[in-house]
Amino acid sequence: MHYHRVCLESFGYTLPDEIVTTADLEGRLAPLYERLRLPEGRLELMTGIRERRFFPAGTRPSDISIRSAERAIRASGIDRPLFGALVHGSVCRDFLEPATACRVHHGLGLPGACMIYDVSNACLGLLTGMVQVANMIELGQIRAGVVVGTECGRELVENTIGLLNSDQTLTRESIKHSIASLTIGSASVAIVLCDEDLSHTGNRLTSAVVHCDTEQHDLCHSRGLETLMQTDSEELMRQGVAAGVETFQRFLAVAGWEPHEIDHTFCHQVGVAQRKLLFETLGLDAAIDFATLETLGNTGSAALPITMALGIEQGRLRPDDRVALLGIGSGINCQMLSVLWQRSPVAAESPPVQPEVTTGSAR
């Protein structure tokens, strides 16, 4: 897919105030650790995740999505009547029906002619929504759209801890399928895309490619972030990287870039081992990547775009940078997008994730 008139205009995000360290989780897993004689610090060593954040129990995803989308819309400076699409793309939703996008649309006061719906594509839901909105803009069907999602991972993590402590049949080998559930965190992010005539930034989305390897669809599955998740993490890592390599080759051809011409990357945040293997296999210097895994964990569909938003806030992007968004999710699905960057409006709510982060404000 090639784009000639689509701009990636602004971001808005919301992070929870509550921080839960991996050491805290291991403390709660003391019965399991004692029974299986597991060493403390094992979870952080395996995943690279020091802490994650959680919204309060019972938080409705739509409440937080409204906040994030409101910030992105205000940061864009685009009048609401010009928005022709709203996509809610997170795994977490208020209900199966109606679409969570309905309540978000109402809370934002967007026009009745705005197309609204939910997208479900595991950790690539927000990227999928971005591609769909970009396609509508490129075709001239709409002038601006907003993609938003909120992942609430508290219940999944707490349910996993309860299961691991209570199931006396678990072994050191069988608990591996539950490790991925303990990496989950919470976050919310929104992205505004618009046609070039509305843009104040000139941040051009230039291409997108997709690739799937659905033979591997059963390596990770759950009924939602609030329920138990089973993941063959090691095999998913290997097969995900293999699918990512094939997607990346197509991405380079469609974007018209060579690997050394990429200035910055933002990836889905899974774990340090996956990130290391991916960059080694792609032949990319990990120094061009910006990561939030250590402090946010795996925030599902929000992980890649909120990492980009935080990287923008820290001043990682400069005019004319070539930016690659590298998404690999369960299924296995891959989506990779190319962006030519110019300037950076981001609106946020939360304390800084790292000491050097500064909080952006809406224009």
- pLDDT average, residue stretch 29-34: 92
Average pLDDT value for the chain: 88
Place of tokens 């090691």: 234
pLDDT in tens, 349-361: 655 454 333 333 3
Rounded distance between C-alpha atoms, residue 285 and residue 117, angstroms: 38
Choosing from 34, 97, 258, 356, the catalytic residue is: 97
Q: Among 346, 340, 333, which Cα is nearest to 119's? A: 333
Instruction: Please give the residue that has the higher pLDDT: either 228 or 226.
Output: 228
Choosing from 7, 123, 194, 267, the catalytic residue is: 123
Helix (H, G, I), strand (E, B) or coil at 56: coil
Rounded distance between C-alpha atoms, residue 179 and residue 162, angstroms: 13
- Residue 53 host element (H or E): strand 51-54
pLDDT in tens, 273-322: 878 888 888 888 999 999 999 999 999 999 999 999 999 999 999 999 99
Alpha helices in 167-287 (DSSP H): 233-255, 272-282
Q: How many CB atoms lie within 10 A of CB 315?
A: 11
Q: What is the pTM of this model?
A: 0.88
Q: Where are the domains of the chain?
A: 202-343
Q: In which band, very low, low, confident or very high, does the pLDDT at 218 lie, cut at 50, 70 and 90? A: low
- pLDDT average, residue stretch 2-25: 96
Percentage, residues of the chain above pLDDT 70 = 87
Residue 232 pLDDT exceeds 70: no
Rounded distance between C-alpha atoms, residue 12 and residue 179, angstroms: 30
Check whether domain 202-343 has CATH 3.40.47.10, yes or no: yes
| Amino acid of residue 76 | S
Rounded distance between C-alpha atoms, residue 232 and residue 238, angstroms: 10
97 is catalytic: yes
- Taking only Cα atoms into account, the Rg of the chain, rounded to an integer number of angstroms, comes to 19
Residue 252 pLDDT exceeds 80: yes
